[in-house]
């Protein structure tokens, strides 16, 4: 059974973590398969959004601890090495994917599984789902961006308590605290998540990718630096066919039809200014 399923939908891909008997915990093979399908989704111009979810009753239980048994003759694993080889590239892939990534948390999300969900752009979860910073229970620290995302999303006080107690956080509380976008009825999760991804896949893909870049940079930028970045990225957004289509549709009082196409290679801001006048 493939540990990752990638299903092509209209203009988007559904990527499913598929080791349900291990609550979709990661082993090396699953990491490699996920990296492959995310790279394919990034490169495929027909794919304009991604939906990430899990098979079975869990979203993901983080690292498969069966692969971390000690005392069986092998050397102790270097966890810094596996973080470097697998978890960090995964978070970077999700954050830099030039299209929206929706995460449908279909059940418990623990350890790296919780933080991988937080690395996605929009997170929906079933009301019965829980987010568990399970690391403290096994003597580890939150990885996969947990120490970056948590304080920014929920504030220091809540981040510290979640990290140090490893208490499960119910999806509704996660939504109320701003950790995720929303909690929905269990039976409604997939239809809501699919409808949202389907909608995002019809939107101005390049503009969304540029907005994602601006948001990613804001955590480390001063206001001045961020204003400069917004200027530069807006220049690029203003050169996309979808921007032009949106303005024409607005002025023509009709619905826009976005293609997600990149701006022409020779586009310049001044050329666009001329085209708009």
How far lies 187's CA from each of 3, 6, 123, 172, 173, in Å? Answer: 24, 22, 16, 15, 19
Give the integer Cα–Cα distance in Å for 159 and 135. Answer: 13
Put the strands of the sheet holding 101-105 in their side by side order: 4-8, 13-17, 50-54, 101-105, 122-126, 182-184
Q: Alpha helices, DSSP H only, in 97-222? A: 112-118, 146-154, 156-165, 171-176, 189-200, 205-218
Q: DSSP class of residue 63?
A: B
Residues lying near ligand T3D in the complex (CB under 6 A): 22-23, 25, 61-66, 68, 79, 82-83, 87, 108, 110-112, 132, 134-135, 138, 140, 143
**Minimum CB distance to ligand T3D, residue 78 (Å):** 9
**Element (DSSP H or E) covering residue 236:** helix 223-237
Which one, of 100, 79, 99, 73, lies nearest residue 26 by Cα? 79
Residue number of the CB atom closest to ligand T3D: 62
**Minimum CB distance to ligand T3D, residue 135 (Å):** 5
**Minimum CB distance to ligand T3D, residue 62 (Å):** 2
Cβ closest to ligand T3D, residue 72 vs residue 224: 72
Cβ closest to ligand T3D, residue 23 vs residue 102: 23
Cβ closest to ligand T3D, residue 135 vs residue 243: 135
Cβ closest to ligand T3D, residue 34 vs residue 200: 34
**Minimum CB distance to ligand T3D, residue 41 (Å):** 23
**Minimum CB distance to ligand T3D, residue 180 (Å):** 17
- The token pair at 143 is 């990885």
How far lies 148's CA from each of 32, 159, 219, in Å? Answer: 24, 10, 9
**Minimum CB distance to ligand T3D, residue 195 (Å):** 28
- The token pair at 271 is 């050329």
Cβ closest to ligand T3D, residue 41 vs residue 129: 129
Cβ closest to ligand T3D, residue 24 vs residue 239: 24
């Amino acid at each position: 059974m493939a540990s990752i399923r990638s299903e092509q939908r209209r203009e988007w891909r559904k990527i499913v973590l598929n080791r349900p008997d291990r609550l979709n915990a990661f082993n090396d093979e699953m990491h490699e398969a996920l990296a492959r399908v995310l790279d394919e989704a990034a490169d495929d111009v027909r794919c304009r959004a991604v939906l990430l979810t899990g098979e079975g009753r869990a979203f993901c239980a983080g690292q498969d601890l069966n692969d971390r048994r000690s005392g069986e003759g092998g050397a102790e694993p270097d966890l810094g090495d596996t973080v470097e080889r697998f978890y960090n590239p995964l978070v970077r892939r999700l954050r830099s994917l030039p299209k929206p990534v929706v995460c449908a948390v279909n059940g418990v999300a623990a350890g790296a599984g919780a933080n991988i969900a937080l690395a996605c752009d929009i997170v929906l979860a079933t009301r019965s789902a829980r987010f568990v910073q399970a690391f403290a229970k096994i003597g580890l620290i939150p990885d996969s961006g947990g120490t970056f995302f948590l304080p920014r999303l929920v504030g220091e006080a809540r981040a510290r308590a979640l990290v140090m107690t490893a208490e499960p956080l119910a999806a509704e509380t996660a939504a109320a605290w701003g950790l995720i976008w929303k909690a929905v009825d269990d039976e409604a999760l997939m239809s809501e998540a699919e409808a949202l991804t389907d909608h995002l896949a019809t939107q101005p893909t390049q503009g969304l990718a540029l907005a994602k870049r601006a948001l990613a940079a804001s955590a480390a930028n001063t206001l001045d630096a961020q204003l400069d970045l917004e200027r530069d990225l807006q220049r690029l957004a203003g050169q996309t066919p979808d921007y032009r289509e949106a303005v024409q549709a607005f002025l023509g009082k009709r619905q826009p039809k976005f293609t997600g196409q990149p701006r022409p290679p020779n586009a310049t801001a001044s050329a666009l200014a001329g085209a708009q006048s």
